[in-house]
Structure 1
Amino acid sequence: MKIIVDFDRCEANGVCVGIAPDLFELDDDDNLHVLDGDVADDRVADVEEAVAQCPKAALRLA
């Protein structure tokens, strides 16, 4: 599975970073970066939570 970010919708609120800081990062300019696009099986639940909690619905799993 891969994390897909719709950067047109993303406002870099950082909710995903709070849920999975090993997978998401905000840089000094508040740009979101996915640290590892391939989601390990043991991390799927956390990424699903980040997707569900994203206030702009900018994340999805594919």
Structure 2
Amino acid sequence: MRIVADRDRCEGHGLCADVAPEVYELDDEAIVVLLHETVPPELERKAEAGARVCPVAALRVEQSTGA
């Protein structure tokens, strides 16, 4: 799976980084930065949880469609 971040929509609340610091962080301007291009399987649940808590829906989960 992968996460798509809409950096223009991000308001810097930081909830994603609070929930899943192994997947998300905020840059110097408080905009989300993804730490993985493809989310490792062991972090998928955290990545999904971080995306869900975004109050402005700036994060979207995309499932892999094949090998």
- TM-score, normalised by the number of residues in structure 2: 0.81
Which residue does the alignment assign to 1:37?
Answer: 37
Alignment check: 8 A CA contact 2:23 2:43 kept: no
Cα deviation for residue 23 of structure 1 reads 1.4
CA distance in 2, matches of 1:10, 1:36: 18
Cα deviations across residues 8-43 of structure 1 (Å, max 9, x unaligned)?
211111001001112111122212211112111111
Identity %: 39
CA contact (8 A) 2:7 2:31 kept: no
What TM-score, normalized to structure 1? 0.86
Q: Secondary structure at the match of 2:33?
A: strand
RMSD (Å), alpha carbons: 1.1
In terms of Rg, which structure is larger?
A: 2
Name the structure 2 match of 1:10.
10
